[in-house]
Amino acid sequence: MPNYTLQQLAQITGGRVIGDPQTMITAVKPIESADTGSITFISNPKYAQYLESTKAAAVIVSRQIEQAPVALLQVDNPYAAFALVMTLIYPDRPPAPGIHPTAVIAQSAQIGQNVYLAAHTAIGENSYIGDGTYIYPGVSIANDCRIGDNCVIHANVSIYQKVSIGNKVIIHSGTVIGSDGFGYVFAQGKQQKIPQVGTVEIEDEVEIGANVTIDRGALGATCIGRCTKIDNLVQIAHNVVIGENSIIVAQTGISGSTKLGKRVVLGGQVGVVGHIELADDTKVAAKAGVTKNTAPGTVLAGFIGVPHQEWRKTEAITRKLPDLYAKIKLLEKEIQILKKPLKDSANE
């Protein structure tokens, strides 16, 4: 592992050292278990108590913390600086570029420079793999796909035909991109499939977790915006559009033709119905259900399934709760007034 002095880390992170700038950093560890030679960080104030007892060589802190019995690296954003230091101390060590003998590459496919194709990968007709991209074992890339530069596609990912992926995209194992959207029509006494002839477009610096499914558009494209991060086990239906820098947490499902703006955050197990729009900076708490359009900056929470008629009645009452609460408070005051003469009479 590379070693850095605290001063070198300060120069890289734009921070300021309090203590010995020549302190040598050889590891990154949690503040509770950090020891000699390791650096740790505090971004949550509740961990500030450990500053007095930690055995770390140094601690990354905000600029508001100026004193401690240990060397400090003051930065504007401790969590971001911690992530950067992690990449320095524990650099990724990918295999050397090359094409494994068992890789199957169509004659019309184009492979860029410094590409890694692992064992049992398959690249379809007219597909393109950009420079510096790493494709791990068992990945299947169908016809007419475009994979950008410096991507990492982990083992057993399936990418269907006509999918377009930008630069610096990371896709984790087991994910399926471009499978048919869930489109059926009931006709002639049975569910009949609606052809799904669109595609998927993924912009630069997107990261997609393990076992995610992103369906192709019925017509047009399902689109994932730049720098969006998608957790494991997420379902994104056909023709969904997700804006840049959004966060989609595990086990979330987004129904077809829904549009998410920029910087939208969906917590774990959120469900979003189809054909609605979530505006920029919308945030949805875990397990919530979203059924209507939102305004910019909306924060949503809660959803419980009950029989439909009961739900309608409950919803109607729920909307009146502020008025009912005000009436109850008024009644409580009137009761206290009525009780007062009774108390006075009893005292006499």
Please identify every residue annotated as catalytic.
238
Is residue 263 within 8 A of residue 249, CB to CB? The reply is no
**Could you tell me the two tokens for 69?**
């019995």
Calpha distance 106→72 (Å, rounded)? 55
Is residue 310 within 8 A of residue 304, CB to CB? The reply is no
DSSP-based three-state secondary structure for 7 = helix
Pairing of strands 24-25, 4-5: antiparallel
Residue for token pair 């269907």: 160
Calpha distance 348→124 (Å, rounded)? 98
Is residue 225 within 8 A of residue 242, CB to CB? The reply is yes
Count, residues in the chain = 348
Torsion sign, CA atoms 232, 237, 238, 242: negative
Pairing of strands 235-236, 221-224: unpaired
Of the candidates 148, 164, 167, the residue with the CA atom closest to the CA atom of residue 206: 167
Calpha distance 232→183 (Å, rounded)? 24
DSSP-based three-state secondary structure for 322 = helix
Calpha distance 250→185 (Å, rounded)? 30
For residue 177, what is the enclosing H or E element? strand 176-179
Is residue 146 within 8 A of residue 183, CB to CB? The reply is no
Of the candidates 250, 251, 210, 206, the residue with the CA atom closest to the CA atom of residue 229: 206
